[in-house]
Structure 1
Amino acid sequence: MLTKLTKKTMAAMAVAAAALTGTVAPAAADYPEKPITMVIPFSAGGSHDLNGRVITSILPSYLNQAVIVRLTPGAGAQKGAQEVANAPADGYTLLFTHNYADQLQQYVDKLPYDPLEDFVTVARVNYAPAAVAVQADSPYQTFEDLVEASKANPGKIRMAHSGNWGAFFVPAAQMMTALDMQWNLVPYQGGGPALQALLSGDADVTMGFPSSLASHVEAGTVRILATAGEERMFDDVPTFAEVGVEGDIGFMHRVVLAPADTPENALTILRDAFSKLAEDQTFANMMGRLGENIEVLGAEEYDAMRAGQSKAYKELVEKLTSQ
């Protein structure tokens, strides 16, 4: 595997060679000339998979090329991220990930890539507030019921999550700290498998996002006990803050990244396509049916957030691992 220095050196040599010979890389002139692959480093059935299917059904309208989803779960999203980091920086391989996998993972694992050096932001598509969910026939009718049972039986409540230090593990750990309770945190390879664990009875509680929970809530198989956010998502369901878990927790930002050194013209075309996607009424309708918002942020704005996330997650990991 090429080191970052080697990749950047070779990229510079290629540019210099093109200048000397008067040639221009095809990607720079005619991008995109072939289908684009969007790697999702999570399992089927989770919110990224569902959101990704909607995105890739509309985005080709603005790129004149197909956008193909490839699910590459494993190692807490590291497998898919490494695949994209090692891919040619030509705009044809993108990563659809989230803030925890992107910026927090580096503080708990030695990664084979550098999140800020090896990737560049294309766009943040939206964000989603996590919800604590149980089966509809669960004995825990309210979040307070769940907390009371958790305190009475430390470590007995099985909480299915999407992977260590992921989008559900982190708010679960923060909840346990804030409320002085203990769950048995059971990792699964993504939000989809974690939800299936709840539905099959292998777990007592899990977390989810609107796109993955909405149909189950509507079908009457899942009940929401609490949600992240300043405002209630449901009239009769409290927010995390209302149940005693303060702070900016439980939010997942869905972001599209590209390998570093992707040509600027390719990034401009991709970013323009996502900007148009945000105004697309069909996209809005499809996302609405998933229960998801559309909050596209440009690269510059989200990059400022990434830097802040990196600092905050470093402090969070230090706090949680010191206890």
Structure 2
Amino acid sequence: MNMMKTMMWGMATALGLAGAPVMAQTFPDRPITMIIPLGAGGSHDLMARVMTSVLPSVLGQPVVVQLMPGAGGQTGTAAAAAAPADGYTLLFTHNFIDQLQQFVTELPYDPNEDFVTVVRSNTAQPVLVVREDSQFETFEDMVTYAQANPGALRFGHSGNWGAFMVPGLALMQEVGADVTLIPYQGGGPAMQAVMAGDVDFTFAFPSVLTGQDLRALLVVGEDAIVEGVPTTSELGYDLVSDIGVMHRSVLAPAGTPEDRLEILRAAFVSMNEDPTYLQLLGRLEENSAMMSGPEFNEMRAEQAVGYKALVESFTQ
């Protein structure tokens, strides 16, 4: 009798489910757009091309890169903030746009209220470089010179409050050196200025150092990515080690359903274990230091504190 009741209940349940309307299709059921608030050919563009060549095989849908440069990253970021919070629009950005800009200009969005982290894809450590024939053999030589000659050391960087100004400014503050900051329209022009002797030093990512007549003096961050060159962490420079490293992050509009965020996060984790992806990263000389969304959300808040203090110290 009990078995008969169980069978009848199972049949009724099955029939009821069969007659119920389908509530939603599995996410994603159409292409996802990844907005990059930077121009073509840069490291973010190259990284995005690598990610979007692997992610479709995990998600089952294309991931389309949309370059939206302008206003120092604000144009693309604002577009992503205004997009529907449905998981179909992502922002691939970095910490200097995401968390620093709020302290140097009025933004048309709130980075802390309008976005949530999907993942931190990886990090990029800037390297302090001089010309091969520079008088500075070591970073200590440079510090000694700068401390003895306030304002004489010329620092060429890629633009105000960008990926190379921040580590340079933080570093010089930590060592107590007064240098002259000279902005250029991007890392390429800043590097050309070093090679021409117009400035004494700049920063660059390791991928552009090969074949250049440059001498690396210091790596920002913890990992010794250039053989024989000390890191800021090794030398005890804590501030620049915390806020000078570029953290590439994938963000989604705030309010994106948690179940969709989890699907996206799982897809990025799978991507990060894919042999093809890792091989392509190696060609770009990029690491695979992925961090979970919730963990990086906490780091974003910590970075904001450091950036606020840095901006205030520079503008007072």
- 2:79 is matched with which residue? 83
Cα 1:242/1:267, change in 2 over 3 Å: closer
Work out the CA distance in 2 between the residues paired with 1:116 and 1:191.
28
User: Is contact 2:167-2:220 (8 Å) kept?
Assistant: no
- 1:109 is matched with which residue? 105
Structure 1 stretch 99-108 or stretch 176-185: which is displaced more? 176-185
- 2:160 is matched with which residue? 164
Work out the CA distance in 2 between the residues paired with 1:190 and 1:79.
17
> 1:45-84 counterparts in 2 under 5 A?
45-84=41-80
Cα 1:141/1:73, change in 2 over 3 Å: farther
Per-residue deviation, residues 162-187 of structure 1 (Å, max 9, x unmatched): 33223222221122222333333233
Work out the CA distance in 2 between the residues paired with 1:130 and 1:144.
18
Shift of 1:199: 5.4
Work out the CA distance in 1 between the residues paired with 2:82 and 2:189.
27
Cα 1:261/1:201, change in 2 over 3 Å: farther
Cα 1:220/1:163, change in 2 over 3 Å: closer
Work out the CA distance in 1 between the residues paired with 2:190 and 2:42.
9
Determine which of 206, 212, 216 is the counterpart of 1:224. 216
Q: Which amino acid aligns with 1:44?
A: A
1:299 has 2:293 as partner: yes
Work out the CA distance in 2 between the residues paired with 1:139 and 1:51.
35
Shift of 1:190: 4.5
- 1:31 is matched with which residue? 27
Q: Which amino acid aligns with 1:291?
A: E
Determine which of 128, 149, 155 is the counterpart of 2:124. 128
> 1:181-220 counterparts in 2 under 5 A?
181-191=177-187, 194-195=190-191, 198=194, 203-210=199-206, 212-213=207-208, 216-217=209-210, 219-220=211-212
> 1:139-150 counterparts in 2 under 5 A?
139-148=135-144, 150=146
- 1:177 is matched with which residue? 173
Work out the CA distance in 2 between the residues paired with 1:177 and 1:135.
23
Per-residue deviation, residues 26-53 of structure 1 (Å, max 9, x unmatched): xx63433333222222233433223222
- 2:232 is matched with which residue? 240
Cα 1:90/1:160, change in 2 over 3 Å: farther
Per-residue deviation, residues 60-84 of structure 1 (Å, max 9, x unmatched): 2112222232333333322221121
TM-score, length-scaled by structure 1: 0.78
User: Is contact 1:155-1:183 (8 Å) kept?
Assistant: yes
Work out the CA distance in 2 between the residues paired with 1:188 and 1:37.
31
User: Is contact 2:170-2:310 (8 Å) kept?
Assistant: no
TM-score, length-scaled by structure 2: 0.80
Work out the CA distance in 1 between the residues paired with 2:255 and 2:271.
24
User: Is contact 1:162-1:187 (8 Å) kept?
Assistant: yes
Cα 1:140/1:191, change in 2 over 3 Å: same
- 2:39 is matched with which residue? 43
- 1:3 is matched with which residue? none
- 2:115 is matched with which residue? 119
Per-residue deviation, residues 283-314 of structure 1 (Å, max 9, x unmatched): 11221222222122221111122222223332
1:287 has 2:275 as partner: no
Matched residue count:
294
Work out the CA distance in 2 between the residues paired with 1:230 and 1:68.
33
Q: Which amino acid aligns with 2:217?
A: L
User: Is contact 1:46-1:191 (8 Å) kept?
Assistant: no
Q: Which runs of 5+ in 1 are unaligned?
A: 1-21
Q: Which runs of 5+ in 2 are unaligned?
A: 1-20
Structure 1 stretch 151-160 or stretch 119-128: which is displaced more? 151-160
Work out the CA distance in 2 between the residues paired with 1:197 and 1:266.
46
Cα 1:40/1:200, change in 2 over 3 Å: farther
Shift of 1:126: 1.1
Q: Which amino acid aligns with 1:298?
A: S
Cα 1:81/1:196, change in 2 over 3 Å: farther
Structure number with greater Rg is 2
Per-residue deviation, residues 188-240 of structure 1 (Å, max 9, x unmatched): 45445544554566654221223x43xx32x2433321102345333321222
Q: Which amino acid aligns with 1:232?
A: A
- 2:17 is matched with which residue? none
